[in-house]
A and B are shown apart, each in its own frame.
Chain A
Amino acid sequence: MLSSIFSTLFSMRFLVTIVRLATPIVFAAIGTFIAAQSGIGNIAIESIMTFAALASVLGSYLSGSAWVGVLFGIGIGIVTVMLIAFFSMKMGANAMLIMIALNTFADAVAIFVLYLVTGEKGTTASLTTPVLGSIDIPIIKDIPILGEILSGQYVLTYLCWIIVILLFIFIYKTPTGMRLRACGLNADAARTAGINVEKMRVLSLVLSGIFAALGGIYLSLNYLKIFSRGMVSGQGWMGVAANGISAGNYWILILSALIFAIFRAVSIIFSSNSAIPTDLVNAIPYLAVFAILTIVSIVNYYRVKRGHVEEQ
């Protein structure tokens, strides 16, 4: 049994699984990150993913084009963050409260809409929806090991990693990215430098909404071909947690999202054997992240005690 676990852990398929599982979590993570950069803690990712997952399928059904579906999903993502922006910036509501309310009622709202459109409350199974496919990359796909990982993945997985790189460039290399970060680091300083902080925050929220939406769209329109009630299942929260772990470091963010994916994949291995009580299998990714985070912070604590201070 142990040997079978090991052989799975080091198999190619395992890596491919991680890449697939990572996509929505990475989307959620960069969605949280970009909002955090401008000083907004967006914890509504889970609800945005849910809305977008549904909206994209409905959009694809109504228009007959998967890409229009994607636009639909993104549109709903933007509408949701604009709702947050409206209530928190224009109406003076506590942003956190609005976001928690969104999360709390997201499933009900999604099902309500699903019901209005399809008369069902479970899935969009009754709708014919064009979906996005996967891409074979001509030459790479024939390379023995690399080909399996790099080729044949879903369209949005590629988009995800392209965005990861572009976003890095945007945040750290472009003027807008720098202004956006300034808003998060010291809003007053940004404001006095002539930056419209509110506008920057709305921009970062919109990006956040788009990325989170893509995470949801991936689930319903690319990875699977259907919207299914409750399908986001905490993957948005994993993105939020990854951002919490990153402490503002982009590559640690991505790494954290990958760790979630890795341990989700590990939990899959354990779900089909009796090594760990089944009740605890689902807790594996959370346990792993909890352990890593705790150990890192303890190590840091003793570093500071010994007089090592990170330059800010």
Chain B
Amino acid sequence: MTDKNTSSKYSKEYKLSISNPKLFDAIKMAIAILIALAITFVILCLISKDPINALKTILLGPLSKRRYIGAVIESFISFAFAGLAAGVLFKAGGFNMGAEGIFIITGAVVAWIASSPVTSSPILHPILCYLGAMLVGGILMILPSFLKAKFGTNEMVVSLMLNSIYAGVTAYIVRTFIATQQRGSVSSKDYLASARIGYLYEPLRISACFILLIIVTIGLYLMMNKTKLGYQMRLAGVNPKFAEYSGVSAFRLSITTAVIAGVLCGMGSTTQLLTQTSYYTPAQSLVGIGFSGMLLSMLGKNNPIGIVIAAFFIKYLEQGAAILYFVDNAVPSEIVSIVEGIIIMLISSQYFLRRLRERQLLKEGLEEHAK
């Protein structure tokens, strides 16, 4: 071993070939998107008179007006929080599907605080809403993880059950404690004006929540990749037995990640309510935000930045398809979901070009071995 520059000996290689995993992933993704678009186009041919324009609308429509892209920005934030919550849980190997229920029940907390005259400060009031939802979310998310870590109770089943239970409890709370008579369905009183979150840059509907999301995402990225906690999560996510052997307390870790995920759900829920609603109507059935979050986290490979990008991408697509539906009323509104589904399935496919890459690796492997 030469003492000069040891680190280069073990450092990563960067080469411009499909054997380079990063580059390969990018190419794969591009091809997946192309195929997805091709399939979408075929479907559009069946239902639209002007399929080329329709496809163009889906892809570019959101850019045609600032308000469109503003709508994407406004709606993707809470969605991204759901993805981040799932990402944190998955990263540590958990299978807690409780985000759905937490989103719903923290909504009641937000509505309660937002509709009560706790403060008149337009800065403090939303912050109190956030804190309340984060606190309750963090605490309630613990239950499935606690039962799993302590008693080995099936986490998935427990969290699924709790989602439905929380939905019922939320409706009960809203009805009993914060209902208003105005609306026919069970919904909260209007939030006070001080609780609503305003825009920092109205044309693009950028609010403080956007900045919150960026901060949280970077924070999570650093946490997952640079801190001891993130390291513990990686260990437990890949091999829980090894994590235990290494002295990572599975119990503490799963509680910690559950709390973080719950807090993120609380943030998402608060963001959604205070930017997109002015009173809270608890969902009559589960709306699936928890599952959407899981989708995002898988699309983003549990990487916070990837998750946020995926969230934006999906909301962008939804907006594009919604614009198409608006301009071409003959297209059924369900086209939004169908396009989304196709693209998600194809993007998640790993095996595009696998043969080609294997051949390349084989060649390079033999060359190297010969040396």
Contact = CB atoms under 8 A, between A and B. Distances in A.
- Are chains A and B touching in the complex at the 8 Å CB cutoff? yes
A263 to B, nearest CB: 11
Given A92-B351, A109-B338, A241-B157, A101 B345 contact: yes
B245 interface: no
A104 B345 CA distance: 12
A90 interface: yes
A244 B152 contact: no
Interface stretch (A61-69, A159-167, A202-210, A297-305): A297-305
B351 A300 contact: no
Interface string A264-293: 000000000000010111110011011001
Contacts of A230: 285
Interface in A78-102: 87, 90-94, 96-98, 100-102
Given A98-B345, A241-B157, A282-B164, A112 B332 contact: yes
A93 B157 contact: no
B168 A109 contact: no
Contact of B334 (A96, A112, A240, A282): A112
B164 A293 contact: no
A280 B164 CA distance: 10
Interface residues of B, number: 47
Given A297-B153, A301-B150, A283 B169 contact: yes
B327 interface: no
A269 to B, nearest CB: 16
Question: Which residue, B175, B292, B344, B352, has most C-beta atoms of chain A within 10 A?
Answer: B344
Contacts of A277: 172, 175-176
B158 interface: yes
A33 to B, nearest CB: 14
Interface in B180-218: 186
Contacts of A105: 337-338, 340-341
A108 B338 contact: yes
Contact of A97 (B171, B186, B348): B348
B354 interface: yes
Contacts of B285: 230, 233-234
B122 interface: no
A97 B157 contact: no
Contact of B349 (A93, A104, A237, A290): A93
Interface string B342-371: 001100111110100000000000000000
A87 B168 CA distance: 36
B334 A111 contact: yes
A151 to B, nearest CB: 34
Contacts of A287: 161, 165
A115 interface: yes
A71 interface: no
Interface on chain B toward A: helix, strand, loop, or mixed SS?
Answer: helix
Contact of A108 (B164, B168, B337): B337
Given A245-B157, A297-B152, A283 B164 contact: yes
A301 B152 contact: yes
Interface string B151-166: 1111011101110110
Contact of B348 (A93, A104, A116): A93
B311 to A, nearest CB: 14
Contacts of A244: 154, 156-157
Contact of B151 (A279, A283, A298): A298
A153 interface: no
Given A294-B158, A301-B152, A104 B292 contact: yes
Contacts of A241: 156-157, 160-161
A228 interface: no
B299 interface: yes
Contacts of A104: 288, 291-292, 295, 337, 341
Interface string A127-155: 00000000000000000000000000000
A87 B346 CA distance: 8
A103 interface: yes
Interface of B: 147, 150-154, 156-158, 160-162, 164-165, 167-169, 171-172, 175-176, 186, 285-286, 288, 291-292, 294-295, 298-299, 332, 334-338, 340-341, 344-345, 348-352, 354
Interface of A: 87, 90-94, 96-98, 100-105, 108-109, 111-112, 115-116, 230, 233-234, 237, 240-241, 244-245, 247, 277, 279-283, 286-287, 289-290, 293-294, 297-298, 300-301
Closest 3 pairs between A and B when the two form their complex, measured CB to CB: A92-B350, A108-B337, A283-B168
7 contacts: A96-B298, A100-B291, A100-B298, A101-B344, A234-B164, A279-B172, A297-B153
Given A91-B351, A279-B168, 13 more contacts: A90-B351, A94-B298, A97-B299, A100-B291, A104-B295, A108-B341, A244-B156, A244-B157, A289-B161, A297-B154, A298-B151, A298-B153, A301-B152
